[in-house]
């Protein structure tokens, strides 16, 4: 057998290497991540984290202990620019600082974000304060997230929830249902709504958002659009893609 010569290069991620920790139960984030971060030179890597199907504060909090093991499963040869943790509700319960600390315990120096931190950064970069707020969560989890957004300086002008605790069911909520919910919540704000937030990485929002933005005339943020936008901006990828949503035509305000 011939011994063949070869050359090496810098690999796929010549512009950025992005890592995403996805819930065991999530069926949506990876597909939407691929659509939003489809740039030459931007490499996308995924790891999974254990998660029971029932979304409650106690089940969400358990993931904090599993975050280091999930982060360790990314290729050790790569210096990831950003790691995103793809769970809005758990980020709310655990806290963004604790999420970052758990991941950085095995990936020191890597930037970390999550949907809650990303939604806050997105809202500030868009310059909006009054939000319409939609979740699929049970009231206790929805209320905790609402309180975190209000603590960050936002005002919830109106809110609504599908009140579904089973993440397998959340993944099956139709785009039409999400669209109708967006119109319904925005209509109850009396014109005060400056942006609409649709929380949860397992809700299929990417096709719905441009329609809602056209109909409502305001930015519409989902957990996934905010998370991927924030990861790209933290990695120094400032390409604008307003066809995805208004947020992707916006630069990040530090």
Sequence-distant (6+) residues with CB within 8 A of 50 are: 24, 63, 66
CB 37 within 8 A of CB 61: no
Domains and CATH numbers, the chain: 16-116+226-249 (3.40.50.12500), 121-222 (3.40.50.1860)
- For the sheet containing 111-113, what is the strand order? 42-49, 16-23, 82-86, 111-113
Helical spans, DSSP H, in 73-206: 88-94, 96-104, 115-126, 139-151, 167-170, 175-187
pLDDT value for 51: 83
pLDDT value for 23: 94
CA dist 216 and 214 (Å) reads 6
CB 21 within 8 A of CB 80: no
- How open is the CA angle 199-125-45, to the nearest 5 degrees? 60
CA dist 56 and 42 (Å) reads 35
CA dist 125 and 148 (Å) reads 17
CA dist 198 and 102 (Å) reads 26
Q: In 3-state terms, the chain is what percent helix, strand and coil (to 5)?
A: 40, 20, 40
Q: In 10 A of CB 214, how many CB atoms?
A: 9
CA dist 189 and 74 (Å) reads 43
Phi, psi of 221 (to 5 degrees): -110, 135
Phi, psi of 167 (to 5 degrees): -65, -25
Residues of the chain with pLDDT under 50: none
Q: Which single residue is written with the structure tokens 């109708």?
A: 180
- Helical (H) or strand (E) element with 85: strand 82-86
């Amino acid at each position: 057998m011939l011994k063949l010569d070869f050359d090496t290069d810098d690999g796929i991620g010549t512009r950025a290497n992005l890592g995403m920790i996805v819930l065991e139960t999530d069926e949506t984030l990876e597909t939407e991540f691929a659509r939003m971060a489809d740039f030459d030179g931007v490499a996308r890597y995924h790891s999974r984290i254990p998660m029971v199907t029932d979304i409650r504060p106690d089940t969400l909090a358990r993931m904090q202990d599993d975050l280091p093991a999930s982060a360790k499963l990314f290729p050790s040869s790569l210096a990831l620019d950003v790691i995103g943790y793809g769970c809005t509700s758990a980020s709310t319960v655990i806290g963004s600082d604790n999420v970052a600390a758990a991941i950085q315990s095995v990936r020191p120096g890597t930037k970390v974000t999550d949907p809650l931190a990303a939604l806050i950064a997105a809202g500030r970069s868009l310059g909006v304060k009054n939000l319409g707020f939609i979740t699929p969560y049970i009231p206790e989890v929805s209320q905790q997230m609402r309180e975190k957004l209000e603590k960050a300086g936002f005002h919830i002008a109106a809110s609504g929830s599908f009140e579904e605790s089973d993440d397998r069911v959340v993944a099956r909520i139709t785009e039409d249902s999400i669209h109708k919910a967006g119109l319904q919540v925005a209509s109850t704000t009396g014109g005060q709504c400056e942006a609409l937030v649709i929380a949860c990485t397992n809700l299929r929002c990417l096709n719905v958002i441009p329609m809602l933005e056209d109909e409502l005339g305001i930015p519409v943020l989902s957990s996934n659009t905010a998370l991927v936008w924030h990861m790209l901006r933290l990695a120094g990828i400032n390409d604008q893609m307003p066809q995805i949503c208004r947020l992707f035509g916006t630069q990040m305000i530090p």
